[in-house]
C-alpha cells in the first residue's frame, strides 16, 4: 500500500487512526465527497463565510489518502492550461487574472498554515527549471517569451544563463534555465492532515472509511448510509471514474516518487538549492523534486503506464522500472546523490481532463459542485478551488468566481480501448522525444504535434 510507503507518511508525526465512519443516514447543508485538499479547503472557506452551515465530508480511506498526501510538495502557481492556452480560449485578461489568483494561492497556503499553527515545512524559494540541452533551452526561451507576451511582467519568470541556473542548482549539463519565485516547497501530508484536524475542531463532520458509490442532486449514497444535503461537492480527483456516471470525465494518471536519506552538508554544498527551491528540468516527461526540511531529496516523475479502464489500484503505486528510472535520473542530475540510500518509493493518481483544463463549478439548480482535473498541479490550485467553491456556493460574485475555469466543462474521454491506446502512445512518444532531444539537441517536432493533437 503506497500511502504507507511514502516519505510523507513516515515524517508526518501523526497516528493516522481512522475517524469513525458515517453512522447511518444524516441530513446536512453541504456534503463533500473526498478529504483531500479540494474537499478540505472547500469546507474550510465555507465555514469561514458561514459558520452556521452543517458540513459533512465523506472519505473512502482517511484524510490525505489520495494525491494530497503523496505529492511532490510543490505549492506552485502552475495552472493547467498555461497562460497562452488560457489566452487562446478565454482572452489575455483572463490569463492575467489566473496568474494573479495562482500567485495569491501560493501565499495563501502559507498564510493559513501560519494562522492555524500547521507545521508544514513551507519555504517559498521559487522553482528552478533547468535546461540541460539546447532543445530544452529553446523551450525555456519560448516559454518565457510566451508568458511575457500574454501577461507582461506579472509572472516574474526569468530566463537564466548557465551560471545563473547553476547558482540555484548545480546539476550536470546545465546550459541555462528559467526561474519563477511563485512556488513554495512544503510537506504535503502535514498540510492535509492539519487541515482535517482544524476542521474537526470547528465542528465539521469528517467520516472516514466511508465510500460514496453515487452522488446525485440532494444526496451522497455511501456504503454506510446516505448523506442528504442541499449541496453536494465532488472532490474525488483521480478517483472520480469509480463513481457511477463519471467514468469518462477524468482519467487517473500515475506519478511516482522516491526519497533519499538526508544528504550530508558537503553534498548540499555541491548541489545548492539553498532556499529549498523546487526543481525540474525541461524535458517533456515531467520530473519534479524538492529539498525537504530534513535535507533529503523527494523526487518524482510521470512515465508510469495508464491502466485500462481508468483503474486505480494500490499495486499501481509501485513500479520497479519507473522507480529505478527516477533514481537514475536523479543521480544523473546530481552525482553527489549516487551514494545516498533511497529510503522511500511510492506513487499515486492525479486527474487529467480530456482538454487538460482544470475546472471548478457549481450548478445551483441541481445543487452540484465540483473541483479538480489539476493535471498534477493541484497543491495551490486546490486552495483556489476551495475558496472559489465556497464563494459560488454561498452566492458571492467576486474576482474569483469570474475566473475562466469556473464552470468550464471538458469533453469526455474516449471509450476504451481508444483511451488506453491514445494515452499510452502519448506517454511513449514523449519519452522518445526526450531521448531524441538529449541526443541531437534539436527540439522534437513529434512532441509539439502531440501537444497540439491533445489540445494542450
Ligand atoms: C505522486 C504525485 C505527485 C504530485 N506532485 C504535485 C506537486 O508537487 N505539486 C502540485 O501542485 N500537485 C502535485 N500533484 C497533484 C496534487 O497532489 C493533486 O492535484 C491534489 O492533491 C488533488 O487534491 P484533491 O483533493 O482534489 O484530490 P485527492 O487528494 O486525490 O483526494 C481525493 C480523495 O477522495 C477520496 N475518494 C475517492 N473516491 C471516493 C469515494 N467514492 N468515496 C469517498 N471518498 C473518495 C480519496 O480517498 C481521496 O482521499 C501530485 C500528484 C501525485 C499523485
pLDDT tens readout for residues 75-118: 999 999 999 999 999 999 999 999 999 999 999 999 999 999 99
pLDDT, position 443:
87
Q: Is the peptide bond before 417 cis (omega within 30 degrees of 0)?
A: yes
DSSP state of 123: B
- pLDDT band with cut points at 50, 70 and 90 for residue 449: low
pLDDT, position 245:
87
How many angstroms is it from 58 CA to the middle of ligand 1?
15
Closest ligand 1 atom to the C-alpha of 379? Answer: 11
User: In this prediction, what percent of the chain has a pLDDT beyond 70?
Assistant: 98
- Can you give the pTM of this predicted structure? 0.97
List strand residue ranges (DSSP E) for 196-303, in order. Answer: 205-207, 212-216, 219-222, 225-234, 251-260, 278-281, 287-291, 297-301
pLDDT, position 170:
98
- Digit-coded pLDDT (tens) for 339-377: 999 999 999 999 999 999 999 999 999 999 999 999 999
Closest ligand 1 atom to the C-alpha of 76? Answer: 11
- pLDDT band with cut points at 50, 70 and 90 for residue 34: very high
What are the backbone dihedrals phi and psi of residue 45, each rounded to the nearest 5 degrees, phi first? -75, -30
Count of C-beta atoms within a 10 Å radius of residue 235: 30
CA gap 161, 151 in Å, rounded: 22
CA gap 160, 178 in Å, rounded: 5
pLDDT, position 451:
66
Cα-based torsion angle of the residue sequence 353, 354, 360, 365 in order, rounded to the nearest 10 degrees: -120
pLDDT, position 228:
98
Alpha helices in 213-363 (DSSP H): 265-271, 320-333
Residues 6+ apart with CB under 8 A from 112: 44, 118, 383
List ligand 1's pocket residues with C-beta within 6 A. Answer: 33-39, 58-61, 65-68, 70-74, 76, 211-212, 235-239, 242-243, 255, 257, 288, 300, 347-350, 372, 374, 376-379, 382
220 CA to centre of own chain: 25
Q: Is residue 456 pLDDT above 70, yes or no? A: no
Best residue among 188, 239, 346 to mutate for probing ligand 1's pocket (most ligand atoms within 8 Å of CB) is 239
Amino acid at each position: 500500500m503506497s500511502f504507507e510507503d511514502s516519505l510523507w507518511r513516515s515524517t508526518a508525526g501523526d497516528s493516522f487512526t481512522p475517524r469513525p465512519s458515517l453512522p447511518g443516514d444524516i441530513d446536512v447543508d453541504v456534503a463533500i465527497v473526498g478529504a483531500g485538499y479540494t474537499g478540505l479547503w472547500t469546507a474550510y472557506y465555507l465555514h469561514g463565510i458561514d459558520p452556521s452551515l452543517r458540513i459533512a465530508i465523506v472519505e473512502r480511506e482517511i484524510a490525505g489518502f489520495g494525491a494530497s498526501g503523496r505529492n511532490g510538495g510543490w505549492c506552485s502557481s502552475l495552472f493547467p492550461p498555461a497562460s497562452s492556452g488560457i489566452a487562446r480560449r478565454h482572452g489575455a485578461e483572463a490569463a492575467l487574472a489566473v496568474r494573479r489568483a495562482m500567485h495569491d494561492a501560493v501565499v495563501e497556503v502559507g498564510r493559513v498554515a501560519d494562522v492555524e499553527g500547521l507545521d508544514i515545512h513551507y519555504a517559498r524559494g521559487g522553482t528552478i527549471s533547468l535546461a540541460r540541452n539546447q532543445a530544452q533551452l529553446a523551450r525555456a526561451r519560448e516559454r518565457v517569451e510566451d508568458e511575457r507576451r500574454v501577461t507582461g511582467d506579472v509572472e516574474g519568470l526569468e530566463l537564466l544563463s548557465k551560471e545563473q541556473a547553476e547558482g540555484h542548482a548545480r546539476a550536470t549539463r546545465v546550459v541555462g534555465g528559467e526561474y519563477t519565485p511563485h512556488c513554495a516547497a512544503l510537506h504535503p501530508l502535514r498540510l492535509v492532515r492539519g487541515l482535517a484536524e482544524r476542521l474537526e475542531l470547528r465542528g465539521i463532520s469528517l467520516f472516514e472509511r466511508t465510500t460514496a458509490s453515487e452522488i446525485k442532486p440532494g444526496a451522497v449514497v455511501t456504503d454506510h448510509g446516505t448523506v442528504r444535503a442541499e449541496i453536494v461537492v465532488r472532490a474525488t480527483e483521480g478517483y472520480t471514474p469509480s463513481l457511477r456516471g463519471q467514468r469518462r470525465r477524468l482519467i487517473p494518471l500515475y506519478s511516482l516518487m522516491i526519497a533519499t536519506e538526508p544528504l550530508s552538508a558537503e553534498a548540499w554544498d555541491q548541489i545548492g538549492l539553498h532556499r529549498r527551491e523546487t526543481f525540474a528540468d525541461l524535458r517533456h516527461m515531467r520530473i519534479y523534486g524538492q529539498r525537504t526540511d530534513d535535507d533529503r531529496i523527494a523526487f518524482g516523475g510521470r512515465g508510469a503506464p495508464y491502466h485500462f479502464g481508468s483503474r486505480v489500484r494500490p499495486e499501481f503505486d509501485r513500479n520497479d522500472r519507473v522507480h529505478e528510472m527516477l533514481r537514475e535520473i536523479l543521480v544523473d542530475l546530481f552525482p553527489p546523490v549516487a551514494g545516498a540510500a533511497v529510503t522511500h518509493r511510492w506513487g499515486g493518481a492525479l486527474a487529467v481532463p480530456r482538454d487538460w483544463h482544470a475546472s471548478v463549478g457549481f450548478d445551483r439548480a441541481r445543487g452540484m459542485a465540483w473541483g479538480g482535473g489539476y493535471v498534477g498541479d493541484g497543491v495551490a490550485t486546490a486552495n483556489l478551488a476551495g475558496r472559489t467553491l465556497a464563494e459560488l456556493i454561498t452566492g458571492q460574485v467576486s474576482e474569483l468566481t469570474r475566473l475562466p475555469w469556473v464552470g468550464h466543462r471538458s469533453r469526455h474521454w474516449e471509450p476504451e480501448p481508444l483511451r488506453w491506446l491514445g494515452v499510452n502512445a502519448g506517454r511513449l512518444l514523449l519519452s522518445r522525444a526526450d531521448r531524441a532531444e538529449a541526443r541531437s539537441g534539436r527540439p522534437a517536432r513529434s512532441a509539439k504535434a502531440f501537444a497540439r493533437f491533445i489540445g494542450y
